[in-house]
Amino acid sequence: SCDASVLLDSTENVVSEKPADRNFGMRNFKYINTIKSAVEAECPGIVSCADIIVLAAREGAVVLGGPRVELKTGRRDSKKSSAAEVDKYIPLHNDSVSNCSNSFCFHGNRCRRRGGALRSAHRWQDALRESGAEAIPESGSHIRSRLRRVFE
């Protein structure tokens, strides 16, 4: 959710995207809220939730040993959220790499590898969700210790 609309709760009239079936892997919104509160205390009204999500994802990748890539900020937060939009634009969690790539290309993205990268991230998330940090092989003990420090 590039506009952070996944953070919005449902109202009487609209079911938000947060509980949508295609967002089943989204959880621990409390961490984003905690990060946003800390940033908001230092820079009130300047940093969007959308930027917080992107920066938190980048830092999570770094903690797991991935590269630290420079990111542009300046995203704007959405004012509305709809489960129907998720069903329209977000691939299913078990879609093939080809289907994910085609979906992202269909919606105007030029990089065919983006869908594959996102699918790989979901597979990693699936493994952690199902088995916890123990899903990481023994040779990845440094990653387990990093994960424990981050989530303590």
Binding site membership: which residues? 3, 5, 17, 91
Q: Residue 59 — left, alpha, or beta (φ > 0 → left; ψ -120 to 50 → alpha)?
A: alpha
**What is the distance between the alpha carbons of residues 79 and 131, in angstroms, rounded to a whole number?**
35
CB burial of residue 107 (10 Å; 0-12, 13-18, 19+): exposed
> Which residues participate in the annotated binding site for Ca(2+)?
3, 5, 17
> Which residues participate in the annotated binding site for substrate?
91
Q: Where are the alpha helices (DSSP H) in the chain?
A: 29-42, 49-63, 83-89, 97-106, 112-131, 141-151
Helix (H, G, I), strand (E, B) or coil at 80: coil
